[in-house]
Amino acid sequence: MVRLTLDLVVKTVSHKNYKEESLAQYLRKITHLNLSDKNIDTIDDLSLCRNLNVLYLYDNQIRQIHNLGFASNLTHLYLQNNCISCIENLTSLKKLEKLYLGGNYITVIEGLETLEELRELHVESQRLPLGEKLLFDPRTLHSLAKSLSVLNISNNNIDELEELGLLENISHLIAVDNQLHHVKDLEFVLNKWTKLCSMDLKGNPVCRKPKYRDRLILQSKTLESLDGKEIKEMERQFLMNWKASKASRKKSKEESMTNEHATYPHFYDFGTGHPIVPVYCNPSGKGKPKFLILSDVQRSPHN
C-alpha cells in the first residue's frame, strides 16, 4: 500500500521552476492534483498544497477521509472507487461544489451539513450489505436543500424518493437500476421538484408500469428529458390535451347523472344504478302503488 505524502506529490507534478522558487512555494501554487490509481490507502499531511481547487483520488484503496482540513479552497473532490465506509472530516471544505464518492462502501449519506456550496453529489453503486439500501441523514438533506442541483444515486437498492423531496433545487436526478416501483410515489416527489429538467430511472420496475412516461410528463412541467429521451413540446401538449379531454368527458358524464337524479329524486335505485318508476300492480286498482325497477317492468310479461 502507498501513503499519500508530499514526496509522492513532488514525484507526480512537474517542478520546472525549482531554481527560481522553493519547492514549498511551488506546492502552494498547485491548484489541480491528479493522484488517481496509485494504490494509495492513506492520506498524509498535504497542508503545503493549501490552494488546491481540484483533487483526483479515485481508483485507490483509501479507507478513511482525513487530513483534508487544509484544503479550504477545494471545489472538486474525486474519491470514487475506494474503500470508504463513512463520509467524514469534510467540514472545512466550505467551497466544495462537486463531490464524487461512487463505488465505495458507504451506507448512509451524512456529514455534509457544512457544505453549503455543494451543487453535485455522486454516490452511485455503493457496495452495500446484501439486502440493504442507501440511507440519507435528514440533517444532511436539510443542509443541502437549497444548493444541491445534481444527484446521482444509481444502483443503491433505493425503493422510494419521498425524503429527497426536501432538495428543492434538484435539476438533474440519476437513479438508474434501483427498486422504485410506484408511479404515484414519483408523482408526489415531482410535485416538489419544480426545477427538475432531467431524470433517469432506467432499470427500475416502475418503468414497466402502464402510462409511466405519460404520467410523469404530465406531472412535471419543467422536465425536459426522461430516461435519456428528450421530451418534446409537441408530446407534452398532446398529453395535456388528452388529459383535458378526458376530464371534460368525465365532468359531462357526472353532470348528466346529476341532472337525472334531480329529475327523479325519489325514483332511483343507487344500488343497481337503475331508474325506478311507480306502477300499479293490482288490476283491481285497489291499494297503493308499488315501486318497481324499470328493468323489471320491461321484463314483466304483464307490462
pLDDT tens digits, one per residue of 49-58: 999 999 999 9
| pLDDT score at 24 | 84
Residue 186 has pLDDT above 60, yes or no: yes
pLDDT tens digits, 229-287: 999 988 888 787 877 676 666 766 666 677 665 555 555 555 565 555 555 455 565 55
**Out of 12-21, 28-37, 150-159, 260-269, least confident range:** 260-269
| pLDDT score at 202 | 98
Residue among 79, 122, 78, 126 at smallest CA distance from 106: 126
Q: Which residue has the higher pLDDT, 289 or 70?
A: 70
The upper half-sphere exposure of residue 164, i.e. CA atoms within 13 Å in the direction of its Cβ, equals 29
pLDDT tens digits, 67-109: 999 999 999 999 999 999 999 999 999 999 999 999 999 999 9
The pLDDT-based confidence of 200 (bands split at 50, 70, 90) is very high
Residue 303 has pLDDT above 50, yes or no: no
Q: Which residue has the higher pLDDT, 167 or 248?
A: 167
Q: Which residue has the higher pLDDT, 213 or 278?
A: 213
Residue 123 grid coordinates = 454516490
Residue 140 has pLDDT above 80, yes or no: yes
Please tell me whether the overall predicted TM-score, pTM, comes out greater than 0.95 for this model.
Answer: no
Rounded to whole angstroms, the Cα distance separating 248 from 189 reads 27
